[in-house]
Structure 1
Amino acid sequence: MPAETEPHRCTWMAWPSAGYTLGDSEADADEARGVWAAVAHAVAEFEPVRMVADPSAARVARDWLGSDVEVLEAPLDDAWMRDIGPTFVVGPDGLGAVDWVFNGWGAQPWARWEHDARVACQVAEWAGATVVPSAMVNEGGGIHVDGQGAVLVTETVQLDPGRNPSWTRASVEEELRRTLGVQRVVWLPRGLTRDYDEFGTRGHVDIVATMPSPGTVLLHAQPDDSHPDHAVMEVVRAAVPDDLAIVDLPAPEVLTDEDGPVDYSYLNHYVCNGGVVACVFDDPRDGTALESLAAAYPGREVVGVDARPLFARGGGVHCITQQEPLVQVVGP
């Protein structure tokens, strides 16, 4: 699996069309459509975007997205392409697409996944990729690779009883080596506190840590010790191997919303060709975070999208995007 920083052919997304993602009112639905469209347009400044839309919502998607984004139609339950789509890999025969088992983030009682469980194969077909089947329940938000053989995971995702009740660390590592071509699996203990609430993922790594370059871990930090994630991140930090350099990315100053402690994180950004699309929160720390991301990804333009409507629905910018790497064709 190439690092996210390597060249992309395009970005895949999925359009919100039903359920809690759209919300209970037309105003809620327009808020969701607006933020998905904002991310798509931001990414489209750097590379092509292909949006999968349920046939019932395809016309609405085209109205919001205009000519900048290609819309393809397939049945959907939800709109988190990072998790329901394939994980693209590159091998001797070209582009591959790992088709993880998707079961609604560990068979969550509110989730529906009849259609989403089939999206990865459909996207792989559109991309012209060879499907790499996997028997492991996993999502794209549960892994981060450096492109040089290392992958970050969390114990509460791949070893979740709702996902892989009979799997061990050893069997998970073996499957990650087989599907992603990694040699080193770095286990972090858990995710952020809010991620274990009703609409959480039970610990996705892509809101906690990433590897902007080999040997470096960009890590979420919560400076305020009144927030539960302050203690959580001390435990996570202690689990990062000593040979990896840690760069802290402090959380926004806002600590709570009407539902309790927030999990706002600048870690849930998306790296694309020549750019980084970052989460911002109308927060005093937004500017510093964008500067830190520019330093972590030198030579890339960093743009912010207000991610509060995404986080209110259980995710961020990285959660709704999925990169398709550019496969270099070598001639005879």
Structure 2
Amino acid sequence: MTGYVMPAEGAPQDRVWMAFPSAGYSLGETEAQHHEARSTWAAVAHAIAEFEPVTLLVDPGEVEAAKRYVSQDIELVEVPLNDAWMRDIGPTFVHAEDGSVAAVDWVFNGWGAQDWARWDRDAKVGALVAEIAGVPVVSSPLVNEGGGIQVDGRGTVLVTETVQLDPGRNPGLGRADVEAELRRTIGASEVVWLPRGLTRDSQRFGTRGHVDIVAAFTAPGRLLLHTQTAEDHPDSSVCKEIRDSLADRFEIVEMPAPDTLTDDEGYVDYSYINHLVVNGGVIACAFGDPRDADAAAILAEQYPGRTVVSVDARALFARGGGIHCITQQQPSAQIRPA
């Protein structure tokens, strides 16, 4: 164990950080798309605010719009933004040896320098959030995003070969290099490599394989795993491959994918795995799908004592992510007696 450790996502939290959509890919081109994006981000923020404080970063050009869509219970902070995927552009919060909180500032380069992405402003958000939060920065040279890691709070971290070893992110780095940096920054004592991510997420407007729509730790040693049961969906074989790579290490709890298989762009990567655990609650993705209720019941079983609140996430997935992707939790300090 190093001096820092990333706690489990269900550990006590001080707040959740989000970013409001700004001009570009996530906001969309038409007024209808603008309204859809703003309404969905606001719905997630309001759901979280029922459980704990929310701080919402807003690009200066979107402040008036944010005030129209977001209640006064949500703290707004003006910060220049390119996009609104806080899990990836923001820092990863960790505990120092004394239990205080620090923020790992990864290098962000638009999910591997993708030709459609802009990141000159977003690359600075990690350090800015740490400054606003009043916590020390742990600078990292690793190109990484919060959606690309899942931890159990005890040193085990899931990553994906197609993300951390992506030549567009970390050219020249091997597994040992990545593992050493994860050990230094988030206290990873065991790094488990998934072979890839879901099909849609591996296409042009995806992340190239984030783990946070594939698997989530609900307890040490137990994984909630996305399971595509429709044989004609390409993720059916992908999920089997991923499960085979994990089955001998963890207790696997299957989370069936929604019945919805396609949208106007092709096969979807709708996933109930992409939920957010908050103090006393779970903010879950819904898709207007027959399996929404079953997924909420599984989440309630996996996170006993927490209230599950579902928010329609179709507008998020149409833009490339889900509820987990647009949020970042800040854990509470756990100061130990001297």
* TM-score of the superposed pair, with normalisation by structure 1: 0.98
Say yes or no: does 1:286 pair with 2:292.
yes
Match of 2:89 among 84, 89, 97: 84
> Aligned partner of 2:150: which letter?
H
Match of 2:111 among 75, 97, 105: 105
> Aligned partner of 1:231: which letter?
S
Preserved CA contact (<8 Å) 1:95 1:128: no
Partner of 2:3: none
Say yes or no: does 1:176 pair with 2:156.
no
4+ residue runs over 2 A deviation:
328-332
| Helix, strand or coil at the partner of 1:66 | coil
Shift of 1:242: 1.1
Q: For residues 243 and 167 of structure 2, what CA distance do their matches in structure 1 show?
A: 24
| Helix, strand or coil at the partner of 2:80 | coil
| Helix, strand or coil at the partner of 1:242 | coil
Aligned ranges 1:317-328 → 2 under 5 Å: 317-328=323-334
Partner of 1:68: 73
Q: For residues 336 and 180 of structure 2, what CA distance do their matches in structure 1 show?
A: 30
Partner of 1:151: 157
Shift of 1:58: 1.5
Preserved CA contact (<8 Å) 1:137 1:163: yes
Match of 1:231 among 237, 241, 245: 237
Q: For residues 247 and 108 of structure 2, what CA distance do their matches in structure 1 show?
A: 30
Preserved CA contact (<8 Å) 1:44 1:69: yes
> Aligned partner of 2:11: which letter?
E
Aligned ranges 1:5-44 → 2 under 5 Å: 5-44=10-49
| Helix, strand or coil at the partner of 2:255 | strand
Partner of 1:301: 307
Match of 1:196 among 202, 217, 226: 202
Q: For residues 62 and 320 of structure 1, what CA distance do their matches in structure 2 show?
A: 18
Q: For residues 193 and 323 of structure 1, what CA distance do their matches in structure 2 show?
A: 27
> Aligned partner of 2:232: which letter?
S
Match of 1:267 among 273, 276, 290: 273
Q: For residues 149 and 221 of structure 2, what CA distance do their matches in structure 1 show?
A: 16
Aligned ranges 1:94-133 → 2 under 5 Å: 94-133=100-139
> Aligned partner of 2:258: which letter?
P
Q: For residues 330 and 180 of structure 1, what CA distance do their matches in structure 2 show?
A: 19
Shift of 1:241: 5.0
Q: For residues 147 and 291 of structure 2, what CA distance do their matches in structure 1 show?
A: 24
* TM-score of the superposed pair, with normalisation by structure 2: 0.97
Residues 119-171 of structure 1: per-residue CA shift (max 9 Å, x gap): 00000001111100111100000001000110011110000010011110010
Shift of 1:236: 0.5
Residues 178-220 of structure 1: per-residue CA shift (max 9 Å, x gap): 0001200011111000002221000000000011110001100
Say yes or no: does 1:257 pair with 2:259.
no
> Aligned partner of 2:122: which letter?
D
Unaligned runs of 5+ in 1: none
Partner of 1:50: 55
Q: Which moved more, 1:205-214 or 1:90-99?
A: 90-99
> Aligned partner of 1:57: which letter?
E
Shift of 1:71: 0.3
Identity of aligned residues (%): 62
Q: For residues 205 and 328 of structure 1, what CA distance do their matches in structure 2 show?
A: 27
RMSD between aligned residues = 0.9
> Aligned partner of 1:251: which letter?
A
Q: For residues 89 and 240 of structure 2, what CA distance do their matches in structure 1 show?
A: 31
Shift of 1:328: 2.8
| Helix, strand or coil at the partner of 1:58 | helix
Residues 262-284 of structure 1: per-residue CA shift (max 9 Å, x gap): 10000000000000000000100
| Helix, strand or coil at the partner of 1:67 | coil
Aligned ranges 1:210-221 → 2 under 5 Å: 210-221=216-227
> Aligned partner of 2:290: which letter?
P
Preserved CA contact (<8 Å) 2:46 2:71: no
Residues 63-103 of structure 1: per-residue CA shift (max 9 Å, x gap): 21121200001100000000000000011352110000000
